[in-house]
Amino acid sequence: MRVIAGTARSMPLRSIEGLDTRPTQDRIKETLFNVIQADVPGAKFLDLFAGSGAIGIEALSRGAASAVFVENSKAAAACIKQNLAFTKLADNATVMECDALTAINRLAGKGVFDVIHMDPPYNHEYEKQVLAALKNSDILDEYTLIVIEASLETDFSYLESLGYKLVKQKNYKNNKHIFVNMDRNGE
């Protein structure tokens, strides 16, 4: 696993041992950033269920102004901090060692994120819980792009009922990325 592009290009990243995290494969990460490349420079980036921090680090390397990494696992949070130090991107980063819902509450009143990425454990409906919490939060607006990595089986038919609109869906061999915005016209 490595940083694909930007100031930390080709730098290797660590990940924790075991099955607690699923690092996003480099080719999928590259495809993701090809889709969101115009949204990243200067962005305030939120990486929920951050794992090794690879997605947020890629965003920082590609010019995001700042990134907040949210990870509940102590080992994974330590890994993120090591990766940020190694890539020399720690100055523009904050690591929050807590669950995603707690982080959303703690971030209230601290500004709007331009991009929110989440890669929760598959098939537990955590993304639905997070989207419900975000709906009532002030950390996003109708311009915030939300990117969700999920299993191919994950059902997102509820998006409209929560006030979101599907912008794009990109399917891969074993998973998919869903791109959504708040649907302010639907309110």
pLDDT digit string (tens) for 75-111? 999 999 999 999 999 999 999 999 999 999 999 999 9
Q: How confident is the model at residue 22 (pLDDT cuts 50, 70, 90)?
A: low
Mean pLDDT of 173-187: 84
CATH top-level class of 26-186: alpha beta
User: Which of 91, 60, 96 has the alpha carbon at shortest distance from 76?
Assistant: 96
Q: How confident is the model at residue 18 (pLDDT cuts 50, 70, 90)?
A: low
C-alpha pair distances (Å), 56 with each of 43, 90, 156, 184, 186 = 11, 11, 24, 27, 30
User: Which of 148, 152, 161, 92 has the alpha carbon at shortest distance from 120?
Assistant: 148
pLDDT of residue 8: 81
pLDDT of residue 73: 94
C-alpha to C-alpha distance for 63 and 182, rounded to whole angstroms: 24
| Range name among 7-16, 61-70, 125-134, 164-173 with the lowest pLDDT average | 7-16
For residue 65, report the phi and psi dihedrals to the nearest 5 degrees. Answer: -70, -35
Both tokens assigned to 78 = 């330590």
pLDDT digit string (tens) for 28-82? 889 999 999 999 999 999 999 999 999 999 999 999 999 999 999 999 999 999 9
pLDDT digit string (tens) for 128-156? 999 999 999 999 999 999 999 999 999 99
Q: Which residue bears the tokens 């915030």? A: 144
**More confident call, 4 vs 168:** 168
pLDDT of residue 40: 97
